[in-house]
Structure 1
């Protein structure tokens, strides 16, 4: 029987477990999470077969998924390099940045251990095993960065998650980090700073903040996500994020200038171009 070890049983890790179970393959799922409640919930729901320690799970697994924050993933990869892993083990992760993780994973590749960087572009502001879903990855981009030319690890991951209906994308770590910086990381900063800025203004009025309209709620929804996870992301992708923040603030200052000058033509042009871009990705 094939053994899969999932370290980190929050939204993403528990959704992996759900999808591997529903695939109907002859697989035993081992799980580890520092929050015992996550593991106990998945045991009760029969998505995980056995809870174990990180070391025991890693050393008995055929496939390992590292599903913690980026800083934890990097630390665990280093730890895997000291363990007695199976000869043909496949290791993957779900970290939101890839360049630093792939660099750390070179130590495993040097030992002829197959490592596949991974990142499913799925999730929400919710956390914990109870927030996992069977359909979390359906239609979502799932990025994979292989370290072998035969893509053996890629094929195994895609087989295990065959029922997930993910949109598989093979990319480089550099392209990945540029893309997620623009599509995820900078938007999260914008949402968070907008929430802070707007609250200062709203609190200066006599109007209840809970009366804000849908536009504000939609724009700031992701600001409710896990601060620990996002702090690690900011550190791991800091070079890309800083460059893209400079680009964003340049555009913001251009818009501020147009408003100050009451340049209706320029304001309308920005809104029209933004509208077209937003419609093009639906």
Structure 2
């Protein structure tokens, strides 16, 4: 039998050197039944020229976005153009850790899963520090029962660590999200019935940099609050009956020092529901200095959770 075709989708914006590093890691793969779909949001031809001069042997399907699409629409375009039975998105900050990485992903495609993901290693670009990220296997059943747990802790990781079957192509990254766009995508896939398979191997290097989008939106209420509300609107306020999800919202408001619904609605208008209003009232009654201490904050959160209005 012929090996199954996998589409490696690379949505990029500038950073030709990082794209080059990623393409070199693809060129080194032992599994070679792949196509490369590269959608370029760059304002110039730096990436295009590099691809044509250094990687003609890879027969890359290159597409220039005019005008540029931005994230995550550039991601969606790359996926929409994919011809493979399996789709492997790779962001240009990231790369395959070793020549067998893609093969190890493809080894699991016969398991019946449609959403495969691996462990990975953070590479801090400024310092060179490396940090392994391991998925807690025992939490997989909980995640399948309530994918909103990902809002508390994205244990899967960024999109470069996943492989999805083409039957899931209709699920797109939601352009209304910036900070939680990957989390919402995973929740959507699981809600659509995607069957998950975890690979207990570090197969992907995830590049971390101070210039990434996440560094500018984390704890920024202009992004965090509208997206936090939209998640509840999309997937149900009853998720707040789960203590882990409730705690995630507690920590979000606590860390941004926002304790009243009037302030919240300055950033995200809409009905936040009785449970969130109760949570904010509970936070407002706390000693703000003591909230910095985990034990005090956790105890007050538990007290608030027990007394919350039920959805």
Instruction: Return the TM-score normalized by structure 1.
Output: 0.35
